[in-house]
Chains A and B, each alone.
Chain A
Amino acid sequence: MSDMATTKSVQPGDRTQPAQRHTLQRTAQRRLVRLLFYMMVIAVSLMTVFPIYWMLVSTFQPNEYTLHFPPPLIPKEITVRQFAGLFANHPIALWLRNSAIIAITTMLVSTTLSVLGAYTLSSLRWPGRNLFGLFLLATQMLPEILVLIPIYGIFRRLDLLNNLTSLAVIDAAFILPICIWILKGVFDTVPTEVLDAAVVDGCTQLSVIWRIVLPLTVPGLVAVAVVSFFFAWNEYLYASILLGKANIMPASVGLSTLKAIGRTPVEQYMASGLIFSVFPVAFYLFMQRYIVSGLTAGAVKG
Chain B
Amino acid sequence: MTQAVAAGPGGRGRRRWRRYLLPFALALPILLYEGVLVVYPIAQGIVGSFQRIELASNVAPTWVGLDNYARMFSDPSFWMVLRTTLIFTGLVILVAILTGLFTALLFNRPFWGRPVARGMMMMPWAMPEVPVVMIFIWILNPQFGVINVFARLLPGVTENPQWLQVPWLAMAWMVLIASWKAFPFYSLVILAALQAVPDEIYEAARVDGANAVQLFWHITIPSILTTLELLVVLASIFSFKQFTIIYLMTGGGPSGATETIVIRIYNTAFRFYDYSYATALGVAGFVVSLVIASVFILLQVRRTQENV
Contacts and interface: CB of A to CB of B under 8 A. Distances in A.
Interface stretch (B66-74, B75-83, B136-144): B136-144
A70 B135 contact: no
B213 interface: no
Nearest to A272: B134
A259 B69 CA distance: 38
B252 interface: no
Contact of B146 (A45, A73, A119): A73
Contact of A145 (B23, B123, B282): B282
A58 interface: yes
Given A119-B26, A151-B37, A296 B143 contact: no
Interface majority SS on B: helix, strand, loop or mixed? helix
Interface of B: 2-8, 19-20, 22-24, 26-27, 29-31, 33-34, 37-39, 41-42, 44-45, 48, 53, 55, 102-103, 106-107, 109, 111, 117, 119-139, 141, 143-144, 146, 148-149, 152, 160, 180, 184-185, 188-189, 192-193, 196, 203, 206-207, 209, 227, 230, 234, 237, 240-241, 243-244, 248, 262, 265-266, 269-270, 275, 278-279, 282, 285-286, 289-290, 292-293, 296-297, 300, 303
A261 B141 contact: yes
A37 interface: yes
Interface string A12-55: 00000000000000000000000001101100110011011011
Interface in A231-259: 233-234, 236-237, 241, 252, 255-256, 258
Contact of B143 (A40, A69, A172): A69
Contacts, number: 301
Interface residues of A, number: 107
Nearest to B263: A145
A52 B127 contact: yes
B106 A41 contact: yes
27 contacts: A3-B203, A7-B207, A41-B107, A44-B103, A52-B135, A55-B134, A66-B144, A71-B144, A113-B30, A116-B27, A116-B29, A124-B22, A125-B7, A137-B300, A141-B296, A145-B241, A145-B262, A149-B45, A154-B44, A176-B30, A230-B128, A260-B134, A261-B141, A276-B131, A280-B128, A292-B189, A302-B192
Contacts of A217: none
Given A73-B149, A236-B130, A55 B189 contact: no
B180 A177 contact: no
A67 B144 CA distance: 6
Most B CB contacts (10 A, CB to CB) among A58, A122, A147 go to A147
Nearest to B233: A141
